[in-house]
């Protein structure tokens, strides 16, 4: 494959730094190729341990994280980062979402999910959605949730006069997280939300 286009026009330190973490080499390659442009620089890591090492060495603006990985998995990475106080925005990219994993991630401010298979366009759009949220209720609420400000997120969504289906599900999820014991491992989700987790994904199947 030829080198990514327009990779050296902007000085390196001004560029957006993205970390791709996935154990699948082709996906790492594809993701990196898809995201690299003149304003973005992409690094890749093959597992959680490598990812944590890279984050410690270099600061990143956003991380695309696979859930299932050898050594340290996606959730392990999230917990380690948040425990060390790193608020880096994370997009969790996985083939399947289990309620336990999803809840754990959301409680740590990881609210952006991508369901594999991912199209390049999904990848770029989710970057924009996270880094440059629109002034609409759902993106704003998600931004609040990313910083673990669930009350604010709930308020924003409650003020939404015409919530989308996705927005109402998010509202339910945020509420159950707010109402649950913060020290408990797994907040109790209503069954409705438990069964509708794929809808929470950014590229949720519409049909």
Partner 1 sequence: MLRLRLFYGLLTIILLLWSVGAAALLLMRESVNGFDTRLRTDYRAIDAAQTIRSLTVTMNTSYLPSLAAAAPEVPDNRALYDKSHQQLADQIAIIHKSGGDDERWNSVMTRLDQVFGTYSEGYEKFFSGRILDRSDRQKLLQFQGMQTQRLTDLTENVMTLSEEKLFSGASQIVQGSGRNTIFVVTLVLLGTSIAALIYFQLVRHLVDPVANLHRSIEEISKGNFELTLPEPSPGSEFSKVVAAFNGMAAELKFRRSQNDDNLMRANMVNRAILEAIPSPVFVLSDDTGIVQINPSAENLMEKLGIAGRLPLKIQHILDDCRKTHAHFLPEDPREALLFRIEEQEFYYLPRIFRFESDYASQSGWAILLHNVSHIRWLDDMKTNLLSTVSHEIKTPLTGIRMVLHLLLEERSSQLDEMQKIMITSANDDCERLLATLNNLLDLSRAESGATELTRVPLDVRENVARAAQLYSGAASSKEIEITIDEAHGDFLEISADPIRFDEVLNNLVSNAVKHSPEKGKITLRLSKPDADHVRVSVIDQGPGVPESSQSRIFERFYRAPGQDSEGIGLGLFICREIMRAHEGRIGLRERTDNQTEFYIDVPTA
Binding site for partner 1 (CB under 8 A): 1-5, 24-27, 29-31, 33-34, 95-96, 116-121, 165, 191-192, 194-196, 206-207
Q: Which is nearer to partner 1, 24 or 152 (CB)?
A: 24
Shortest distance (Å) from residue 137 CB to partner 1: 20
Q: Give whichever of 58 and 95 is closer to partner 1, judged by the CB atom.
A: 95
- CB of residue 109 vs partner 1: minimum separation in angstroms? 26
Q: Which is nearer to partner 1, 84 or 190 (CB)?
A: 190
CB of 28 to partner 1, least distance (A): 8
> Over the Cα atoms of the chain, what is R_g?
17
Nearer to partner 1, 58 or 186 (CB): 186
CB 84, min distance to partner 1, A:
29
Burial category of 93 from C-beta neighbours within 10 Å (exposed 0-12, middle 13-18, buried 19 and up)? buried
Cα angle: 115, vertex 121, 122; to 5 degrees = 25
Which one, 104 or 118, has the nearer CB to partner 1?
Answer: 118
Q: How far is the CB of 110 from partner 1 (least distance, A)?
A: 20
**Helix H or strand E encompassing 21:** strand 16-21
Q: Spell out the long-range contacts of 202-206 with Cβ–Cβ below 8 A and sequence spacing 24 or more.
A: 202/91, 202/112, 202/113, 202/114, 202/122, 202/125, 202/126, 202/129, 203/114, 203/115, 203/118, 203/119, 203/122, 203/126, 204/115, 204/166, 205/115
Identify which of residues 168 and 180 has a Cβ nearer to partner 1 in the complex.
Answer: 168
In the complex, what is the shortest distance from the CB of residue 27 to partner 1, in angstroms, rounded to a whole number?
4
The pair of structure tokens assigned to 168 is 């109402």
Please provide the DSSP assignment of 169-194 as one string.
Answer: HHHHHHHHHHHS-TTSSSPPPPHHHH
């Amino acid at each position: 494959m030829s080198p990514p286009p327009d990779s050296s026009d902007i000085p390196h330190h001004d560029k957006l730094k993205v970390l791709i973490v996935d154990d699948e080499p082709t996906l790492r390659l594809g993701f990196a190729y898809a995201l690299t442009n003149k304003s973005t620089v992409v690094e890749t890591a093959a597992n959680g341990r490598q990812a944590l090492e890279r984050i410690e060495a270099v600061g990143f603006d956003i991380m695309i994280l696979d859930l299932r990985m050898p050594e340290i998995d996606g959730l392990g990475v999230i917990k380690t980062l948040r425990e060390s106080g790193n608020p880096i925005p994370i997009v969790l990219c996985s083939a399947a979402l289990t309620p336990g994993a999803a809840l754990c991630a959301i409680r740590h401010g990881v609210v952006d999910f991508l369901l594999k298979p991912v199209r390049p366009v999904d990848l770029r759009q989710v970057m924009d959605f996270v880094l440059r949220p629109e002034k609409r209720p759902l993106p704003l609420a998600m931004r609040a949730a990313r910083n673990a400000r669930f009350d604010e997120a709930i308020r924003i969504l409650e003020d939404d006069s015409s919530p989308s289906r996705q927005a109402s599900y998010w509202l339910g999820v945020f509420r159950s997280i707010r109402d649950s014991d913060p020290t408990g491992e797994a907040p109790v989700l209503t069954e409705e939300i438990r069964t509708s987790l794929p809808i929470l994904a950014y590229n949720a199947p519409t049909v």
